[in-house]
Amino acid sequence: MSADLPHGHVIPEHSHPEDQLLFASKGVMTLRTKQGVWVVPPMRAMWIPADTPHSVSMSGQVSMRTLYLLPKLCRPLPAKCFVMNVSPLLKELILHACKFSKLNKKTATERRIVELLVDQLKGVESVPLQLPHPVDSRAKRIVEALFANPGDQRTLKELCKDCGASKRTVQRLFLEETKMTFARWRQQLRLLHGLQSLASGEPRDRPAAFSFRRSGRRYFRVFDRWVRDPASRRGERWFGIFLRSCGGYVHPYFRRQRRATA
């Protein structure tokens, strides 16, 4: 399926009996489930297992391409949502497959397309662009407050005053239920919000809507270089530098990318 969607368009919550591969060559997509939020930048794809209720919102003009695969066709892939890197070959296979209303494995040419797609998907690498949600109602109150205002500069101790739990309790809840410290979770929220803001056309010469340890101007300059060249190793290196400029935790995935391009 192919669709060009405007900024702000929302696909309401729904599910499919098939596994879904969601890809955009332009624009940023945000996928939400009960388990969390995933942000899909250009030249990345989202794997959505069968029967997963989800909604999708668009930031910027989005050129969306979707493939539906029989549930047992890609057994090596995990039975959970994740964002993946898309190689040049996988990109072309997705774009070509979308030209067909339905691929028929009884036709030799179409069967080879399916086989190549499955082979490429077996070797994909996930990208840490997800934000898991805590389940506890007290931690969820903090999540809701920060989603409403990612630039909120209150400390965790100050946020806890409105959630009915102590700072230590909230720290424990985030670590147990999201597998992230609160500081890491908050940084990831700001990172994903940055993706959405940049795609929606927020001026690159304006400081970010929220404060990092370095200037918002540097944030946009470094991040913009990654967005302009997202598929290359150089682009991955810029993304790693962007994360480092935020201060704090840098995921091992991006540390590996920086070593590979050094």
In tens, the pLDDT along 31-62 reads 998 888 888 888 889 989 889 999 998 888 88
Query: What's the token pair of residue 67?
Result: 């493939």
Residues 197-229: pLDDT tens digits? 766 655 544 434 443 444 444 555 555 555 444
Q: Is the confidence at residue 164, as pLDDT, over 70? A: yes
Packing angle, helices 182-199 and 137-148, rounded to 10 = 30
Domain with CATH 2.60.120.280 in the chain: 2-127
Q: Rounded to 5, what percent of the chain is helix, strand, coil?
A: 40, 20, 35
Kindly tell me the number of DSSP H helices and DSSP E strands found in the chain: 9, 9
Q: Would the pTM of this model clear 0.75, i.e. be above it?
A: no
pLDDT at res. 127: 76
User: Could you tell me the CATH superfamily of domain 2-127?
Assistant: Regulatory protein AraC (2.60.120.280)
